[in-house]
Chain A
Amino acid sequence: MTAFFRRSLDDDALDAMLEAADAELLAHARAVTDPFDTIRILHAGLGQRRRTDSPSPPSVVTREAFERRRRAVKLRYLAKASEGLVAGVFNEVSLDRLAPVLASCGSNLGRLRTRYVNEHVPTDKRWMNECQWAVQFIILQRQRLNETNLASVLTSLGACEERLRRVAQGAMAAAIAHERGLFEMTMDVSGEDLSHMTFEGPWLLENVVWTDATRWSPRAYDMVVMRSRRIAAGVYQVLGESPHDRDHLCV
Protein backbone atom coordinates (compact mmCIF):
# COMPACT_ATOMS: atom_id res chain seq x y z
CA MET A 1 0.00 0.00 0.00
CA THR A 2 3.04 2.23 -0.14
CA ALA A 3 1.93 3.37 -3.57
CA PHE A 4 -0.79 5.24 -1.81
CA PHE A 5 1.78 7.76 -0.69
CA ARG A 6 3.43 8.23 -4.02
CA ARG A 7 3.06 11.34 -6.13
CA SER A 8 2.93 9.41 -9.39
CA LEU A 9 1.68 5.93 -10.04
CA ASP A 10 2.85 3.38 -12.54
CA ASP A 11 0.63 0.60 -13.85
CA ASP A 12 1.85 -1.97 -11.34
CA ALA A 13 1.26 0.34 -8.42
CA LEU A 14 -2.20 1.18 -9.66
CA ASP A 15 -3.05 -2.49 -10.12
CA ALA A 16 -1.78 -3.26 -6.64
CA MET A 17 -3.94 -0.51 -5.15
CA LEU A 18 -7.00 -1.61 -7.07
CA GLU A 19 -6.46 -5.21 -6.12
CA ALA A 20 -6.10 -4.40 -2.44
CA ALA A 21 -9.13 -2.14 -2.43
CA ASP A 22 -11.12 -4.70 -4.40
CA ALA A 23 -10.36 -7.50 -1.97
CA GLU A 24 -11.51 -5.32 0.89
CA LEU A 25 -14.64 -4.28 -0.95
CA LEU A 26 -15.49 -7.90 -1.68
CA ALA A 27 -15.14 -8.81 1.98
CA HIS A 28 -17.40 -5.90 2.80
CA ALA A 29 -19.90 -6.89 0.11
CA ARG A 30 -19.99 -10.45 1.41
CA ALA A 31 -20.65 -9.13 4.90
CA VAL A 32 -23.55 -6.93 3.87
CA THR A 33 -25.07 -9.22 1.24
CA ASP A 34 -27.36 -12.06 2.02
CA PRO A 35 -28.45 -13.92 -1.12
CA PHE A 36 -30.99 -15.70 1.06
CA ASP A 37 -32.87 -12.41 1.41
CA THR A 38 -33.25 -12.35 -2.34
CA ILE A 39 -34.38 -15.96 -2.41
CA ARG A 40 -36.94 -15.22 0.28
CA ILE A 41 -38.30 -12.36 -1.80
CA LEU A 42 -38.49 -14.65 -4.80
CA HIS A 43 -40.26 -17.22 -2.71
CA ALA A 44 -42.75 -14.67 -1.48
CA GLY A 45 -43.66 -13.98 -5.09
CA LEU A 46 -42.68 -10.36 -4.81
CA GLY A 47 -40.55 -10.73 -7.87
CA GLN A 48 -43.70 -10.58 -9.91
CA ARG A 49 -44.52 -7.19 -11.26
CA ARG A 50 -47.57 -5.64 -9.69
CA ARG A 51 -50.18 -3.92 -11.73
CA THR A 52 -52.54 -1.91 -9.64
CA ASP A 53 -53.14 0.91 -12.04
CA SER A 54 -55.64 1.16 -14.86
CA PRO A 55 -53.83 2.68 -17.82
CA SER A 56 -55.52 3.75 -20.98
CA PRO A 57 -54.89 1.89 -24.25
CA PRO A 58 -52.41 3.43 -26.69
CA SER A 59 -53.79 6.45 -28.46
CA VAL A 60 -53.93 6.68 -32.24
CA VAL A 61 -51.19 9.31 -32.03
CA THR A 62 -48.89 6.93 -30.15
CA ARG A 63 -49.50 4.06 -32.53
CA GLU A 64 -48.93 6.32 -35.51
CA ALA A 65 -45.75 7.74 -33.95
CA PHE A 66 -44.24 4.28 -33.54
CA GLU A 67 -45.31 3.38 -37.06
CA ARG A 68 -43.61 6.50 -38.44
CA ARG A 69 -40.41 5.54 -36.65
CA ARG A 70 -40.53 2.09 -38.21
CA ARG A 71 -41.11 3.54 -41.65
CA ALA A 72 -38.30 6.07 -41.24
CA VAL A 73 -35.79 3.31 -40.53
CA LYS A 74 -37.04 1.32 -43.50
CA LEU A 75 -36.76 4.38 -45.68
CA ARG A 76 -33.15 4.88 -44.70
CA TYR A 77 -32.55 1.22 -45.51
CA LEU A 78 -34.02 1.67 -48.92
CA ALA A 79 -31.96 4.81 -49.54
CA LYS A 80 -28.82 2.97 -48.45
CA ALA A 81 -29.62 0.09 -50.76
CA SER A 82 -30.23 2.52 -53.61
CA GLU A 83 -26.93 4.25 -52.99
CA GLY A 84 -25.19 0.87 -53.18
CA LEU A 85 -27.01 -0.04 -56.37
CA VAL A 86 -26.11 3.23 -58.07
CA ALA A 87 -22.49 2.64 -57.20
CA GLY A 88 -22.83 -0.89 -58.51
CA VAL A 89 -24.33 0.12 -61.84
CA PHE A 90 -21.22 1.86 -63.03
CA ASN A 91 -18.86 -0.73 -61.67
CA GLU A 92 -20.49 -3.53 -63.61
CA VAL A 93 -18.52 -4.44 -66.70
CA SER A 94 -20.37 -7.58 -67.56
CA LEU A 95 -23.39 -7.02 -69.75
CA ASP A 96 -25.12 -10.07 -68.34
CA ARG A 97 -24.90 -8.69 -64.86
CA LEU A 98 -25.57 -5.06 -65.72
CA ALA A 99 -29.20 -5.62 -66.71
CA PRO A 100 -30.41 -7.00 -63.34
CA VAL A 101 -28.47 -4.34 -61.41
CA LEU A 102 -30.03 -1.64 -63.55
CA ALA A 103 -33.46 -3.18 -63.13
CA SER A 104 -33.05 -3.26 -59.33
CA CYS A 105 -31.78 0.28 -59.38
CA GLY A 106 -34.75 1.46 -61.42
CA SER A 107 -37.30 -0.26 -59.24
CA ASN A 108 -35.57 0.91 -56.06
CA LEU A 109 -35.62 4.50 -57.25
CA GLY A 110 -39.33 4.08 -57.96
CA ARG A 111 -39.96 2.71 -54.46
CA LEU A 112 -37.89 5.48 -52.92
CA ARG A 113 -39.80 8.14 -54.78
CA THR A 114 -43.16 6.67 -53.72
CA ARG A 115 -42.11 6.37 -50.12
CA TYR A 116 -40.66 9.84 -49.92
CA VAL A 117 -43.87 11.22 -51.32
CA ASN A 118 -45.89 9.17 -48.82
CA GLU A 119 -43.70 10.30 -45.95
CA HIS A 120 -43.64 13.94 -47.07
CA VAL A 121 -39.87 13.94 -46.82
CA PRO A 122 -38.40 16.84 -48.77
CA THR A 123 -36.12 15.51 -51.45
CA ASP A 124 -35.32 16.28 -55.02
CA LYS A 125 -38.18 14.47 -56.75
CA ARG A 126 -37.38 15.97 -60.15
CA TRP A 127 -33.93 14.44 -60.24
CA MET A 128 -35.29 11.20 -58.93
CA ASN A 129 -37.82 11.08 -61.74
CA GLU A 130 -35.18 11.88 -64.32
CA CYS A 131 -32.76 9.33 -63.00
CA GLN A 132 -35.38 6.65 -62.86
CA TRP A 133 -36.23 7.43 -66.41
CA ALA A 134 -32.55 7.26 -67.41
CA VAL A 135 -32.16 3.88 -65.76
CA GLN A 136 -35.25 2.59 -67.50
CA PHE A 137 -33.82 3.90 -70.77
CA ILE A 138 -30.61 1.95 -70.26
CA ILE A 139 -32.62 -1.14 -69.44
CA LEU A 140 -34.60 -0.76 -72.62
CA GLN A 141 -31.46 -0.23 -74.67
CA ARG A 142 -29.48 -3.07 -73.12
CA GLN A 143 -30.19 -5.41 -76.02
CA ARG A 144 -28.22 -3.10 -78.27
CA LEU A 145 -25.23 -2.99 -76.00
CA ASN A 146 -22.34 -5.38 -76.09
CA GLU A 147 -19.17 -5.76 -74.11
CA THR A 148 -17.17 -3.63 -76.54
CA ASN A 149 -19.27 -0.53 -76.63
CA LEU A 150 -20.57 -0.75 -73.09
CA ALA A 151 -17.84 1.49 -71.74
CA SER A 152 -18.45 4.19 -74.33
CA VAL A 153 -22.21 4.06 -73.75
CA LEU A 154 -21.71 4.46 -70.04
CA THR A 155 -19.29 7.30 -70.65
CA SER A 156 -21.80 9.03 -72.86
CA LEU A 157 -24.26 8.65 -70.04
CA GLY A 158 -21.84 10.38 -67.70
CA ALA A 159 -24.44 12.97 -66.86
CA CYS A 160 -26.79 10.20 -65.91
CA GLU A 161 -24.20 8.67 -63.63
CA GLU A 162 -23.61 11.97 -61.93
CA ARG A 163 -27.32 12.55 -61.50
CA LEU A 164 -27.85 9.06 -60.16
CA ARG A 165 -25.11 9.50 -57.62
CA ARG A 166 -26.47 12.86 -56.55
CA VAL A 167 -29.96 11.49 -56.18
CA ALA A 168 -28.75 8.52 -54.19
CA GLN A 169 -26.68 10.71 -51.89
CA GLY A 170 -29.49 13.21 -51.51
CA ALA A 171 -31.95 10.45 -50.74
CA MET A 172 -29.62 9.05 -48.11
CA ALA A 173 -29.11 12.46 -46.49
CA ALA A 174 -32.85 13.13 -46.48
CA ALA A 175 -33.56 9.71 -45.00
CA ILE A 176 -31.00 10.20 -42.23
CA ALA A 177 -32.31 13.67 -41.38
CA HIS A 178 -35.89 12.41 -41.37
CA GLU A 179 -35.02 9.48 -39.13
CA ARG A 180 -32.97 11.61 -36.74
CA GLY A 181 -35.79 14.12 -36.44
CA LEU A 182 -38.26 11.41 -35.50
CA PHE A 183 -36.03 9.64 -33.01
CA GLU A 184 -34.81 12.76 -31.29
CA MET A 185 -38.37 13.79 -30.66
CA THR A 186 -39.60 12.85 -27.20
CA MET A 187 -42.64 10.62 -27.25
CA ASP A 188 -44.82 10.55 -24.15
CA VAL A 189 -46.59 7.29 -23.38
CA SER A 190 -47.39 8.08 -19.75
CA GLY A 191 -50.18 5.93 -18.42
CA GLU A 192 -50.81 4.15 -21.70
CA ASP A 193 -51.38 0.44 -22.01
CA LEU A 194 -48.81 -0.78 -24.55
CA SER A 195 -48.97 -4.38 -23.41
CA HIS A 196 -50.34 -5.52 -26.74
CA MET A 197 -47.85 -3.60 -28.84
CA THR A 198 -44.76 -5.30 -30.18
CA PHE A 199 -41.45 -3.53 -30.58
CA GLU A 200 -38.81 -4.87 -32.92
CA GLY A 201 -36.05 -3.58 -30.71
CA PRO A 202 -35.11 -1.01 -28.10
CA TRP A 203 -34.23 1.45 -30.83
CA LEU A 204 -37.92 1.97 -31.49
CA LEU A 205 -38.41 3.23 -27.94
CA GLU A 206 -35.64 5.80 -28.00
CA ASN A 207 -36.50 8.98 -26.06
CA VAL A 208 -39.87 7.60 -25.04
CA VAL A 209 -41.08 9.00 -21.71
CA TRP A 210 -43.09 6.60 -19.59
CA THR A 211 -44.41 6.37 -16.05
CA ASP A 212 -45.13 3.75 -13.44
CA ALA A 213 -48.63 3.54 -14.87
CA THR A 214 -47.47 2.64 -18.38
CA ARG A 215 -48.01 -1.00 -19.21
CA TRP A 216 -45.65 -2.99 -21.37
CA SER A 217 -45.52 -6.52 -22.64
CA PRO A 218 -42.98 -8.57 -20.63
CA ARG A 219 -40.46 -8.47 -23.46
CA ALA A 220 -40.80 -4.75 -23.99
CA TYR A 221 -40.63 -4.17 -20.24
CA ASP A 222 -37.26 -5.91 -20.07
CA MET A 223 -35.91 -3.72 -22.84
CA VAL A 224 -37.35 -0.55 -21.38
CA VAL A 225 -36.22 -1.05 -17.80
CA MET A 226 -32.68 -1.84 -18.84
CA ARG A 227 -32.39 1.31 -20.87
CA SER A 228 -34.35 3.89 -18.92
CA ARG A 229 -33.26 6.64 -16.62
CA ARG A 230 -35.38 8.33 -14.01
CA ILE A 231 -36.19 11.91 -14.86
CA ALA A 232 -38.70 12.61 -12.09
CA ALA A 233 -40.58 10.70 -9.42
CA GLY A 234 -42.24 7.81 -11.22
CA VAL A 235 -41.27 9.19 -14.64
CA TYR A 236 -38.60 7.59 -16.82
CA GLN A 237 -37.09 8.09 -20.22
CA VAL A 238 -35.64 5.46 -22.50
CA LEU A 239 -32.06 6.32 -23.31
CA GLY A 240 -30.94 6.84 -26.89
CA GLU A 241 -29.38 4.03 -28.84
CA SER A 242 -26.58 4.38 -31.30
CA PRO A 243 -27.94 4.69 -34.85
CA HIS A 244 -26.47 1.37 -35.95
CA ASP A 245 -28.70 -0.40 -33.40
CA ARG A 246 -31.60 0.38 -35.68
CA ASP A 247 -29.92 -1.52 -38.46
CA HIS A 248 -31.21 -4.80 -37.08
CA LEU A 249 -34.50 -4.09 -38.73
CA CYS A 250 -35.02 -5.79 -42.06
CA VAL A 251 -36.92 -3.99 -44.77
Chain B
Amino acid sequence: MTGPQHGGDASGLEQLRAALILPQASIHERDVFVEFLVAEQPFVVRFLMRLGATSSDAEDAAQEAFIRAWQMLNRGLWFKVREPRGWIRHVALRSWQRPNGCRRRDREIPTAEVPEPHARPSDGSELTLATLATRSALASLPGNEGIALALKMDGFTSAESAQILGVTDQQARDLLKKARRRLRRTLASEQPSPEGRTL
Protein backbone atom coordinates (compact mmCIF):
# COMPACT_ATOMS: atom_id res chain seq x y z
CA MET B 1 0.00 0.00 0.00
CA THR B 2 1.19 3.48 -0.77
CA GLY B 3 0.61 5.86 2.04
CA PRO B 4 -0.97 9.23 1.37
CA GLN B 5 1.20 12.30 1.49
CA HIS B 6 -0.95 13.97 4.07
CA GLY B 7 -3.12 12.50 6.72
CA GLY B 8 -6.11 14.78 6.42
CA ASP B 9 -7.50 14.38 2.88
CA ALA B 10 -10.52 12.32 1.99
CA SER B 11 -8.81 10.20 -0.65
CA GLY B 12 -6.14 9.26 1.88
CA LEU B 13 -8.81 8.17 4.27
CA GLU B 14 -10.47 6.10 1.57
CA GLN B 15 -7.18 4.42 0.67
CA LEU B 16 -6.39 3.60 4.25
CA ARG B 17 -9.87 2.48 5.01
CA ALA B 18 -9.96 0.19 2.00
CA ALA B 19 -6.68 -1.36 3.05
CA LEU B 20 -7.88 -2.29 6.50
CA ILE B 21 -8.67 -5.96 6.65
CA LEU B 22 -10.99 -7.23 9.29
CA PRO B 23 -11.56 -10.95 9.41
CA GLN B 24 -14.45 -10.76 11.86
CA ALA B 25 -16.18 -7.54 10.78
CA SER B 26 -18.11 -6.45 7.72
CA ILE B 27 -17.05 -3.57 5.49
CA HIS B 28 -19.89 -1.53 6.93
CA GLU B 29 -18.70 -2.15 10.48
CA ARG B 30 -15.17 -1.22 9.51
CA ASP B 31 -16.40 2.03 7.93
CA VAL B 32 -18.47 2.89 10.97
CA PHE B 33 -15.45 2.30 13.17
CA VAL B 34 -13.17 4.46 11.03
CA GLU B 35 -15.73 7.27 11.06
CA PHE B 36 -15.90 6.97 14.81
CA LEU B 37 -12.12 7.05 15.11
CA VAL B 38 -11.69 10.09 12.87
CA ALA B 39 -14.47 12.00 14.61
CA GLU B 40 -13.70 11.07 18.19
CA GLN B 41 -9.92 10.93 18.52
CA PRO B 42 -9.36 14.69 18.96
CA PHE B 43 -12.07 14.73 21.61
CA VAL B 44 -10.42 11.89 23.48
CA VAL B 45 -7.12 13.77 23.32
CA ARG B 46 -8.82 16.87 24.69
CA PHE B 47 -10.47 14.82 27.41
CA LEU B 48 -7.07 13.65 28.65
CA MET B 49 -5.49 17.08 28.27
CA ARG B 50 -8.17 18.48 30.55
CA LEU B 51 -6.98 16.05 33.17
CA GLY B 52 -3.40 17.23 32.83
CA ALA B 53 -1.96 14.98 30.13
CA THR B 54 0.56 16.53 27.77
CA SER B 55 -0.59 16.53 24.18
CA SER B 56 1.86 13.78 23.21
CA ASP B 57 0.85 11.56 26.14
CA ALA B 58 -2.81 12.22 25.41
CA GLU B 59 -2.33 11.34 21.78
CA ASP B 60 -0.48 8.14 22.66
CA ALA B 61 -3.12 7.07 25.13
CA ALA B 62 -5.95 7.88 22.73
CA GLN B 63 -4.19 5.93 20.01
CA GLU B 64 -3.74 2.98 22.31
CA ALA B 65 -7.43 3.06 23.21
CA PHE B 66 -8.44 3.02 19.56
CA ILE B 67 -6.08 0.14 18.90
CA ARG B 68 -7.80 -1.75 21.68
CA ALA B 69 -11.14 -0.90 20.14
CA TRP B 70 -9.83 -2.18 16.84
CA GLN B 71 -8.82 -5.46 18.45
CA MET B 72 -12.32 -5.76 19.81
CA LEU B 73 -13.73 -5.05 16.37
CA ASN B 74 -11.52 -7.83 15.03
CA ARG B 75 -13.06 -10.19 17.51
CA GLY B 76 -16.56 -9.04 16.75
CA LEU B 77 -16.98 -7.46 20.18
CA TRP B 78 -16.84 -3.77 19.44
CA PHE B 79 -20.48 -3.35 18.54
CA LYS B 80 -21.49 -4.95 21.77
CA VAL B 81 -20.03 -1.98 23.63
CA ARG B 82 -23.09 -0.02 24.74
CA GLU B 83 -21.44 3.39 25.07
CA PRO B 84 -18.43 3.54 22.73
CA ARG B 85 -17.61 7.18 23.59
CA GLY B 86 -17.48 6.37 27.27
CA TRP B 87 -15.60 3.14 26.70
CA ILE B 88 -12.91 4.79 24.61
CA ARG B 89 -12.37 7.52 27.20
CA HIS B 90 -12.22 4.99 29.98
CA VAL B 91 -9.59 2.91 28.20
CA ALA B 92 -7.60 5.98 27.15
CA LEU B 93 -7.64 7.24 30.71
CA ARG B 94 -6.37 3.93 32.06
CA SER B 95 -3.73 3.88 29.39
CA TRP B 96 -2.60 7.39 30.25
CA GLN B 97 -2.51 6.58 33.95
CA ARG B 98 -0.28 3.66 33.05
CA PRO B 99 2.29 5.58 31.01
CA ASN B 100 4.64 2.70 30.34
CA GLY B 101 1.95 0.25 29.35
CA CYS B 102 3.13 -3.07 28.05
CA ARG B 103 1.84 -2.57 24.55
CA ARG B 104 3.01 0.96 24.09
CA ARG B 105 6.56 -0.06 24.63
CA ASP B 106 6.72 -2.38 21.66
CA ARG B 107 4.74 -0.26 19.29
CA GLU B 108 6.58 0.76 16.18
CA ILE B 109 5.28 2.84 13.34
CA PRO B 110 6.22 1.50 9.90
CA THR B 111 8.16 4.55 8.80
CA ALA B 112 8.96 3.18 5.36
CA GLU B 113 5.47 3.86 4.11
CA VAL B 114 4.58 6.77 6.28
CA PRO B 115 5.38 10.29 5.11
CA GLU B 116 7.09 12.75 7.38
CA PRO B 117 4.71 13.98 10.03
CA HIS B 118 3.40 17.48 9.81
CA ALA B 119 5.14 20.11 11.78
CA ARG B 120 3.15 20.04 14.99
CA PRO B 121 2.93 22.65 17.66
CA SER B 122 4.75 21.74 20.81
CA ASP B 123 2.61 21.11 23.83
CA GLY B 124 0.68 24.13 25.00
CA SER B 125 2.59 26.52 22.77
CA GLU B 126 -0.45 28.26 21.34
CA LEU B 127 -2.68 28.06 24.39
CA THR B 128 -3.47 31.32 26.09
CA LEU B 129 -2.54 31.91 29.67
CA ALA B 130 -6.18 31.77 30.73
CA THR B 131 -6.60 28.37 29.11
CA LEU B 132 -3.41 27.08 30.67
CA ALA B 133 -4.58 28.31 34.08
CA THR B 134 -7.99 26.67 33.63
CA ARG B 135 -6.39 23.46 32.47
CA SER B 136 -4.00 23.51 35.37
CA ALA B 137 -6.89 23.99 37.79
CA LEU B 138 -8.78 21.13 36.13
CA ALA B 139 -5.73 18.90 36.36
CA SER B 140 -5.35 19.68 40.05
CA LEU B 141 -8.79 18.25 40.85
CA PRO B 142 -8.35 15.08 42.86
CA GLY B 143 -9.11 11.62 41.50
CA ASN B 144 -12.58 11.07 40.17
CA GLU B 145 -13.66 14.69 40.61
CA GLY B 146 -11.62 15.78 37.62
CA ILE B 147 -12.77 12.83 35.55
CA ALA B 148 -16.42 13.47 36.44
CA LEU B 149 -16.10 17.09 35.36
CA ALA B 150 -14.19 16.21 32.19
CA LEU B 151 -16.91 13.70 31.28
CA LYS B 152 -19.60 16.28 31.94
CA MET B 153 -17.81 18.73 29.68
CA ASP B 154 -17.91 16.05 26.98
CA GLY B 155 -21.68 15.85 27.31
CA PHE B 156 -21.98 12.71 29.40
CA THR B 157 -24.92 12.48 31.76
CA SER B 158 -24.45 11.70 35.43
CA ALA B 159 -25.70 8.17 34.84
CA GLU B 160 -23.19 7.61 32.04
CA SER B 161 -20.36 9.11 34.11
CA ALA B 162 -21.38 6.92 37.02
CA GLN B 163 -21.08 3.85 34.85
CA ILE B 164 -17.64 4.84 33.60
CA LEU B 165 -16.40 5.72 37.06
CA GLY B 166 -17.97 2.67 38.68
CA VAL B 167 -19.94 4.71 41.20
CA THR B 168 -23.61 5.37 41.83
CA ASP B 169 -25.51 8.17 40.08
CA GLN B 170 -25.66 10.14 43.29
CA GLN B 171 -21.93 9.77 43.86
CA ALA B 172 -21.27 10.96 40.31
CA ARG B 173 -23.42 14.04 40.89
CA ASP B 174 -21.64 14.69 44.18
CA LEU B 175 -18.26 14.40 42.49
CA LEU B 176 -19.33 16.93 39.91
CA LYS B 177 -20.54 19.37 42.53
CA LYS B 178 -17.35 19.04 44.52
CA ALA B 179 -15.26 19.48 41.38
CA ARG B 180 -17.07 22.68 40.43
CA ARG B 181 -16.83 24.05 43.94
CA ARG B 182 -13.12 23.32 44.11
CA LEU B 183 -12.56 24.71 40.64
CA ARG B 184 -14.32 27.95 41.53
CA ARG B 185 -12.11 28.33 44.57
CA THR B 186 -8.92 27.53 42.67
CA LEU B 187 -9.63 29.79 39.74
CA ALA B 188 -10.79 32.66 41.93
CA SER B 189 -7.54 32.54 43.84
CA GLU B 190 -5.44 32.74 40.67
CA GLN B 191 -3.32 35.83 40.31
CA PRO B 192 -4.42 38.21 37.56
CA SER B 193 -2.49 37.83 34.36
CA PRO B 194 -2.53 39.74 31.08
CA GLU B 195 -5.52 38.52 29.16
CA GLY B 196 -5.02 36.56 25.98
CA ARG B 197 -1.25 36.59 26.13
CA THR B 198 0.30 33.50 24.58
CA LEU B 199 3.29 31.76 26.00
Contact = CB atoms under 8 A, between A and B. Distances in A.
A14 B138 CA distance: 12
A140 interface: no
Contacts of B67: 38, 41-42, 46-47
Contact of B19 (A4, A43, A229): A43
B159 interface: no
B98 A38 contact: no
B110 A40 contact: yes
B118 interface: yes
Interface residues of A, number: 56
In this complex, the interface size class of chain B, counting residues with CB under 8 Å from chain A, is 35 or more
B195 A1 contact: yes
Interface in A203-226: 212, 218, 222, 225-226
Contacts of A5: 192, 195
A32 B72 CA distance: 26
Interface in A2-57: 2-9, 11, 14, 17-18, 20-22, 24-26, 28-44, 46-50
Nearest to A2: B195
B56 to A, nearest CB: 8
A43 B106 contact: no
Contact of B134 (A17, A36, A50): A17
Interface of B: 1, 3-4, 7-8, 12-13, 16-17, 19-20, 34, 37-38, 41-43, 45-46, 49-50, 55-56, 58-59, 62-63, 66-68, 70-72, 74-75, 77, 90-91, 94-95, 97-103, 106-110, 113-114, 117-118, 120-121, 123-124, 126-128, 130-131, 133-135, 138, 153, 166-167, 180, 183-184, 187-190, 192-193, 195-196
List 5 A-B pairs, minimum CB-CB distance, nearest first. A36-B7, A21-B134, A29-B45, A47-B67, A29-B46
